[in-house]
Amino acid sequence: MTPHYWTEATRSLASGDAVLETLIDRFEGLTLGSRGDAFTTIARAIVGQQLSVKAAQSVWNRVCDEVRSFTPAALVEADAGRLRACGLSNRKVIYLRDLAARIGTGRLDLAALSALDDEGVIAQLTQVKGIGRWTAEMFLIFHMARPDVFPLDDVGLQRALRNCYNRGRPLSVTRMRKLGAAWAPWRSVATWYLWRSLDPVVVQY
């Protein structure tokens, strides 16, 4: 489902930034979207850490074949060795099982996250082993559809910023933050279009 703010956001960004105007025109009709429930979204993000989109999808498919009913309880019960055979590192198996255990015991209440602001959601999610700020930001963008997330640690976003605003040359963090500040309160949308400048295939979690 297209976020309710998408049209307003794209109009605002296009009117104030020529680069984004071009990208918005080029990818007209494509929008941000999510593949599944909150637990699945976070699990997919963990699986995808430090992997290409293609490799992450391949591993994810094997994990889903192994854990057919992909619920926290089923993941806790899944054999660690068989999960590693799907292509998961030992650390990612630990991370996924910690996520599932926290949800199962109520230490992480995914339903309660909607009442929190962005930083509150990040604070809750980063208590899970293996979840850092980047993974929490992917959850905010792709599952919660929060409009103003700027995941500056994302290497794809950094590369897109260099390519689009500095002819491929390095940009300082200060400069990247300044660029992002001009796109508030629609930085998630700007980020999504900058990702498309690198890969037109829409990624979903």
Q: What residue ranges define each of the domains in the chain, with the CATH number in brackets? A: 6-33+149-198 (1.10.1670.40), 38-142 (1.10.340.30)
Residue 48 · residue 129 · CB < 8 Å: no
The fraction of the chain above a pLDDT of 90, given in percent, is: 83
| Average pLDDT across the chain, whole number | 94
Query: Are the beta carbons of 34 and 127 closer than 8 angstroms?
Result: no
Q: How many Å separate Cα 100 from the centre of its chain?
A: 19
pLDDT by residue (tens digit) across 94-144? 999 999 999 999 999 999 999 999 999 999 999 999 999 999 999 999 999
Q: Is the pLDDT of residue 204 over 80?
A: no
Q: Is the pTM of this model over 0.85?
A: yes
Question: What is the C-alpha to C-alpha distance for residues 141 and 114, in angstroms, rounded to an integer?
Answer: 13
Tens of pLDDT, residue by residue over 45-64, are 899 888 888 899 999 999 99
Q: What is the pLDDT of residue 12?
A: 98
Per-residue pLDDT reduced to its tens digit, 158-182 = 999 999 999 999 999 999 999 999 9
- With cut-offs at 50, 70 and 90, classify the pLDDT of residue 200: confident
Q: Please indicate whether residue 10 or residue 69 has the higher confidence score (pLDDT).
A: 10
Helices (H), 166-205: 173-181, 187-198
- What's the CA gap between 139 and 34, in Å, rounded? 9
